[in-house]
């Protein structure tokens, strides 16, 4: 399942450092969610069963990650797969799928957008979230971390979470297995001093040279003079030390994706029973509603694809009369379409796609209005009738851009407001104007002259009047100026 974000104005980049004024903005706070077991979790491997993920390295198949049960048989990363199978005959092997890992991270980034608008995937196997502005909303750092951890665990992911004023030290702690929250840059050197130099992204040759000199931890490097360290081991070492200490200003790239929602669900067994399809549709629509709420969007069109074995898929396009993100409403309309769609064969899978996203606008309601028993909600009723009978089964009267009364209206699929112009015109027009005697009517001062239609072969020149008939009805009569000057009754006012 791939979820994509609705396009929005990018948030303002978080500040990396505070100014010296008393009222300066607080330092940014970055939360890193490191996923050490991501290569295993995408295959939904259980820890109590021996399994491992392998990669192709220089023509050799090497173990990349292993479950806890496999580690009990001494199956470790870097071990050749044939040696791993010799140690554990029941070992299940899976080739690493980097594309699926990336898709999983993008899905988790969507979860992160529920906590902050600034999410980045710049660091491997990790989410970076700038959360300083979200702390008050979620009741503090500890509460935010607990809620985020709960969401990740619900999706089957175990994460190591660490927070720091800069992205790199947050990732450095999390990728090293240290779950710490450091909100001040001054605490980074003392709290990260015991980390091994090998945790820094340095050339392996540089790490080996430092180890031969007896330098194994970051504290060992921070104790040395900077100029001498740079001369002997290069500027790259100083740069990584400054990143770890939060001295280097760094703003990770904002996570972005195309505004498309796609979800797919395989059925346990193929079926033609709609009662078995509705719960699956409900799950897909709940995922769509979550996606729309997360991005403050709504949709007026979506497509459901029903797959069949060795047959073309059945496609249903659902159009809504107005954009919505209510899963119950969309589910009701979708069920109406399903009940009236013949299936050529049993369904094996369902796919939902939505690429028509609009900004969400809440419907206005009267705060003091009381519900009237038995009152009908016309919008859902009309929409349900359209889905049940077809969009062309219901037609609504609308106006057209023409001054001639016979051509000034048209049929629409949706009701629209009328713009009658300055003059008064009746909504009830006779099928054909009928001759009348103007002396029998009391003419009112409301008059309108219409001269139009010379370009399409149906010209008219008429003087219209609002008149009162002997029975007291208000009528719309006109005098034909192009003919013999006769008067005609054309419409009646309600």
User: Do both 66 and 131 map to the same domain?
Assistant: no
What's the pLDDT at 186?
87
C-alpha dihedral, 147 to 153 to 155 to 158, nearest 10°: 120
User: Do both 170 and 237 map to the same domain?
Assistant: yes
What's the pLDDT at 304?
94
Q: How confident is the model at residue 202 (pLDDT cuts 50, 70, 90)?
A: very high
User: Do both 325 and 443 map to the same domain?
Assistant: no
- Residues of the chain with pLDDT > 90: what percent? 52
What's the pLDDT at 296?
78
Cα–Cα dist 77/81, whole Å: 10
Q: Is residue 374 part of a domain?
A: no
What's the pLDDT at 392?
64
User: Do both 152 and 299 map to the same domain?
Assistant: no
- Lay out the sheet containing 126-130: strands in order across: 119-120, 126-130, 30-34, 160-164
User: Do both 30 and 167 map to the same domain?
Assistant: yes
Q: How confident is the model at residue 422 (pLDDT cuts 50, 70, 90)?
A: very low
Q: How confident is the model at residue 391 (pLDDT cuts 50, 70, 90)?
A: low
3-state class percentages of the chain: helix first, strand second, coil last, to nearest 5: 30, 30, 40
Name the packing angle between helices 167-175 and 235-244 (round to 10°).
90
What's the pLDDT at 2?
40
Q: Is residue 203 part of a domain?
A: yes
User: Do both 345 and 473 map to the same domain?
Assistant: no
What's the pLDDT at 86?
95
User: Do both 132 and 280 map to the same domain?
Assistant: no
Token couple for 32: 């890193």
pLDDT digits (tens, 9 = 90+) for 53-90: 999 988 899 999 999 999 999 999 999 999 999 999 99
Give yes or no for residue 395 having a pLDDT over 90. no
User: Do both 238 and 282 map to the same domain?
Assistant: no
Final residue before a domain boundary, out of 244, 272, 296: 244
Final residue before a domain boundary, out of 185, 219, 244: 244
Give yes or no for residue 246 having a pLDDT over 70. yes
Give yes or no for residue 208 having a pLDDT over 90. yes
Mean of pLDDT values over 103-109? 92
What's the pLDDT at 140?
93
- Report CA-CA distances (Å) from 388 to 49, 220, 282: 51, 75, 19
Domain residue limits at 142: 2-8+26-36+100-244
Question: Is 115 within 8 Å of 134 (Cβ atoms)?
Answer: yes
Q: Which of 398, 378, 325, 382 is nearest to 356 (CA)?
A: 325
- Mean pLDDT, the chain, as a whole number? 84
User: Do both 352 and 327 map to the same domain?
Assistant: yes
Mean of pLDDT values over 289-294? 85
Q: Is residue 397 part of a domain?
A: no
pLDDT digits (tens, 9 = 90+) for 301-360: 999 999 999 899 999 998 887 788 889 889 988 888 888 888 899 999 999 999 988 888
User: Do both 127 and 216 map to the same domain?
Assistant: yes
- Residues of the chain with pLDDT > 70: what percent? 83
Cα–Cα dist 221/473, whole Å: 99
* CATH code of the domain containing 163: 3.30.70.270
Q: Is residue 60 part of a domain?
A: yes
Give yes or no for residue 230 having a pLDDT over 70. yes
Q: Is residue 410 part of a domain?
A: no
pLDDT digits (tens, 9 = 90+) for 146-194: 999 999 999 999 999 999 999 999 999 999 999 999 988 888 998 999 9
Domains identified in the chain, total number: 4
Final residue before a domain boundary, out of 201, 216, 244: 244
Q: How confident is the model at residue 93 (pLDDT cuts 50, 70, 90)?
A: very high
Higher pLDDT residue, 390 or 16? 390
User: Do both 270 and 302 map to the same domain?
Assistant: yes
User: Do both 30 and 62 map to the same domain?
Assistant: no
What's the pLDDT at 258?
66
Question: Is 65 within 8 Å of 37 (Cβ atoms)?
Answer: yes
Give yes or no for residue 295 having a pLDDT over 90. no
Q: Is residue 471 part of a domain?
A: yes
Cα–Cα dist 5/114, whole Å: 12
Q: Is residue 14 part of a domain?
A: no
* CATH code of the domain containing 284: 3.30.1490.100
Give yes or no for residue 374 having a pLDDT over 80. no
What's the pLDDT at 458?
81
Cα–Cα dist 336/484, whole Å: 57
Q: Is residue 378 part of a domain?
A: no
Supply angle C-alpha 116, 121, 122, rounded to 5: 125
Supply angle C-alpha 375, 381, 386, rounded to 5: 165
């Amino acid at each position: 399942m791939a979820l994509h974000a609705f396009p929005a104005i990018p948030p303002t980049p978080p500040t990396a450092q505070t100014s010296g004024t008393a009222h300066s903005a607080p330092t940014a706070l970055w939360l890193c969610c490191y996923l050490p077991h991501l290569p295993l979790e995408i295959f939904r491997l259980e820890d109590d069963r021996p399994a491992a993920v392998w990669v192709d390295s220089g023509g050799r198949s090497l173990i990349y990650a292993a479950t806890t049960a496999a580690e009990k048989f001494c199956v470790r990363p870097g071990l050749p797969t044939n040696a791993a199978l010799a140690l554990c005959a029941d070992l299940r092997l899976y080739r690493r799928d980097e594309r699926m890992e990336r898709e999983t991270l993008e899905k988790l980034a969507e979860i992160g957008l529920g906590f902050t608008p600034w999410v980045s995937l710049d660091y491997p196997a990790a989410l970076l979230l700038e959360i300083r502005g979200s702390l008050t909303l979620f009741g503090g750092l500890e509460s935010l971390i607990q809620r985020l951890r709960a969401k990740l665990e619900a999706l089957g992911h175990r994460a190591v979470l660490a927070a720091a004023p800069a992205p790199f030290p947050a990732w450095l702690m999390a990728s090293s297995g240290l779950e710490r929250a450091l909100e001040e840059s001054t605490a980074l050197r003392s709290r990260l001093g015991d980390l091994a130099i090998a945790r820094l992204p340095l050339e392996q040759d540089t790490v080996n040279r430092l180890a031969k000199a007896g330098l194994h931890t970051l504290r060992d490097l921070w104790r040395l003079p900077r100029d001498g360290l740079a001369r002997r081991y290069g500027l790259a070492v100083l740069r990584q030390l400054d990143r770890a200490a939060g001295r280097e200003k760094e703003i990770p790239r904002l996570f972005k994706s195309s505004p498309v929602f796609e979800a797919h669900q395989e059925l346990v067994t193929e079926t033609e029973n709609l009662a078995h399809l509705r719960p699956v549709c409900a799950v897909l629509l709940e995922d769509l509603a979550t996606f729309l709420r997360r991005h403050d969007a709504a949709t007026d069109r979506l497509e459901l694809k029903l797959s069949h074995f060795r047959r073309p898929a059945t496609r249903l396009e659902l159009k809504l009369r107005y954009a919505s993100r209510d899963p119950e409403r969309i589910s009701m309309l979708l069920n109406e379409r399903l009940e009236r769609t013949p299936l050529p064969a049993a369904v094996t899978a369902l796919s939902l796609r939505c690429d028509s996203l609009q900004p969400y606008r809440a419907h206005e309601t009267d705060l003091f209005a009381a519900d009237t028993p038995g009152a009908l909600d016309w919008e859902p009723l009309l929409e349900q009738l359209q889905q049940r009978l077809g969009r062309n089964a219901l037609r609504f009267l609308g106006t057209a851009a023409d001054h001639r009364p016979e051509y000034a209206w048209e049929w629409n699929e949706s009701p629209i407001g009328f713009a009658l112009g300055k003059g008064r015109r009746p909504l009830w027009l006779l099928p054909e104007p009928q001759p009348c005697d103007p002396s029998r009517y009391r003419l009112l001062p409301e008059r309108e002259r219409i001269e139009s239609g010379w370009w399409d072969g149906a010209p008219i020149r008429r003087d219209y009047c609002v008149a009162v008939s002997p029975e007291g009805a208000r009528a719309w009569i006109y005098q034909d100026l192009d003919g013999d000057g006769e008067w005609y009754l054309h419409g009646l006012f309600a």
